[in-house]
């Protein structure tokens, strides 16, 4: 079951969804799923497929903010947009998405259902988790050199997978966007790390030969 519906029985979930009147849509790879506005509108839930949230600045440069997998949620409530910047959720693969109106979430029904309270509690947990991911992103971007940014990200992947061998969850192009660096420069740095015996890479597969290296 999706984390947002954790602790809610199938019977209660069926009643809740009838109340929420969700909208189900499908999207092709590369298609725009949603743009963030300056007001809380709706929340999306990825049921199948993968997508990502990117921010486009005043110069038209795209930066990857977050990747979404099945059961992940997105919407303004998780990342309120900044004036002058454009936030777009785009499908990486063919996607099935469920949209729920924000008003249905924050406004309790007249029955004050216990499962509605559980849903709000789950949302608070998810917001906290997304804040943690944002803090991680800021921490990685704060590193002074491209090498340090890469190794900080790889150290995070080691921790997440509990292994010194892992597959990147995003493409190398998107990794460059996530690190806010030029892809060619990033690939040169990865080749240097290979040559120095710090790691071995083959496409998106990374093996850390000196685990925990951050310099």
Smallest CA-to-CA distance from 208 within 194, 189, 195 is with 194
Assess contact for 38 and 160: CB atoms under 8 A. Answer: no
Look at phi and psi of residue 181 and say left if phi exceeds 0, alpha if psi is from -120 to 50, else beta.
beta
State pLDDT tens for residues 43-54.
899 999 999 999
Domains of the chain: 3-112 (2.60.120.10), 143-208 (1.10.10.10)
Give the pLDDT confidence score for residue 77 in this predicted structure: 77
Give the pLDDT confidence score for residue 41 in this predicted structure: 80
Q: Which range is least confidently modeled, 34-38, 71-75, 137-141, 149-153? A: 34-38
* CA pair distance 100, 113, nearest whole angstrom: 17
Backbone φ and ψ of 95, nearest 5°:
-130, 145
pLDDT grade, residue 151 (50/70/90)? very high
Is pLDDT of 133 > 90?
Answer: no
**Whole-model pTM?**
0.73
């Amino acid at each position: 079951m999706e984390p947002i519906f954790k602790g809610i029985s199938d019977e209660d979930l069926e009643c809740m969804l009838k109340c929420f009147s969700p909208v189900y849509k499908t999207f092709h790879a590369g298609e725009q799923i949603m743009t963030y506005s300056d007001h809380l509108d709706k929340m999306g839930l990825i049921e199948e497929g993968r997508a990502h949230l990117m921010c486009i600045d005043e110069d038209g440069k795209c930066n990857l903010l977050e990747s979404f997998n099945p059961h992940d949620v997105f919407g303004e409530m998780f990342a309120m947009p900044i004036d002058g910047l454009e936030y777009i959720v785009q499908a990486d693969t063919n996607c099935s998405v469920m949209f729920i109106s924000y008003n249905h979430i924050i406004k309790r029904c007249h029955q004050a259902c216990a499962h509605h309270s559980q849903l709000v509690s789950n949302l608070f947990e998810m917001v906290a988790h997304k804040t943690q991911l944002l803090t991680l992103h800021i921490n990685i971007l704060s590193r002074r050199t491209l090498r340090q940014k890469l190794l900080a990200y790889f150290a995070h992947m080691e921790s997440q997978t509990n292994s010194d061998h892992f597959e990147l969850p995003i493409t190398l192009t998107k990794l460059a966007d996530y690190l806010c660096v030029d892809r060619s420069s990033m690939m040169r740095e990865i080749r240097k790390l290979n040559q120095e015996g710090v790691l071995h890479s083959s496409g998106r597969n990374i093996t850390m030969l000196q685990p925990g290296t951050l310099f």
